[in-house]
């Protein structure tokens, strides 16, 4: 059994840059290459996609990334795994509806057969930051704990 490869921060930053660019460009070939076959891709509304359902949604135009920016605050590496903590903001169209993204994110990269692939992605919306318009049926009193 070979010891698992440990990624450098520069390698992971490059993969993240390529992934975000491919999302905006709807570059399904690059995304197919970067995503693990069993990726767990969670969205900011808590819906979860498989690799196939995520790529199908992009292919059909059900999800369109109009603009995205991302930061990397921390890359934690261990043999065979790298965890990215950062932020993502931008605008999308989801099933025809415009949406603004502003989230903290965690991305898990896994070493598979000598290459790094995204195994999981999890965004968490940042409260109190610009995002979608509030639900007109929810008052400020409803959101206070």
How does residue 138 score in pLDDT terms, banded at 50, 70 and 90?
very low
pLDDT at 128: 76
pLDDT at 5: 84
Report the pLDDT averaged over residues 114-132. 85
**Which segments of 27-127 are extended strands (E)?**
35-42, 48-49, 63-78, 81-94, 97-112, 115-125
pLDDT digits (tens, 9 = 90+) for 58-71: 999 999 999 999 99
pLDDT at 129: 57
pLDDT at 137: 45
pLDDT digits (tens, 9 = 90+) for 7-17: 999 999 999 99
pLDDT at 119: 98
How does residue 88 score in pLDDT terms, banded at 50, 70 and 90?
very high
Phi and psi (nearest 5°) for 10?
A: -60, -40
Task: Write the CB contacts of 2 (distance below 8 Å, at least 6 apart in sequence).
Answer: none
Per the prediction, the chain carries an average pLDDT of: 89
pLDDT digits (tens, 9 = 90+) for 32-59: 999 999 999 999 999 999 999 999 999 9
**In CATH terms, is domain 9-126 a member of 3.10.450.50?**
yes
pLDDT, greater one: 128 or 2: 128
The span from the first CA to the last CA of the chain, in angstroms, equals 52
In the chain, domain spans: 9-126
pLDDT at 4: 66
């Amino acid at each position: 059994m070979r010891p698992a490869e440990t990624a450098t921060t520069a390698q992971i930053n490059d993969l993240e840059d390529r992934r975000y660019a491919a999302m905006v460009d709807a570059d399904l070939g690059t995304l197919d290459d970067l995503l693990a076959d069993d990726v767990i891709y969670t969205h900011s509304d808590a819906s979860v996609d498989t690799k196939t359902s995520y790529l199908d949604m992009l292919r059909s135009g059900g999800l369109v990334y109009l603009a995205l920016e991302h930061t990397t605050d921390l890359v934690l590496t261990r043999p065979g795994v790298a965890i990215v903590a950062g932020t993502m903001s931008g605008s999308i169209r989801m099933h025809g509806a415009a949406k603004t993204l502003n989230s903290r994110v965690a991305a898990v990269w896994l070493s598979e057969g000598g290459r790094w692939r995204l195994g999981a992605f999890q965004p968490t919306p940042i409260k109190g930051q610009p995002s979608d318009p509030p639900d007109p049926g929810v008052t400020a009193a409803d959101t206070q704990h």
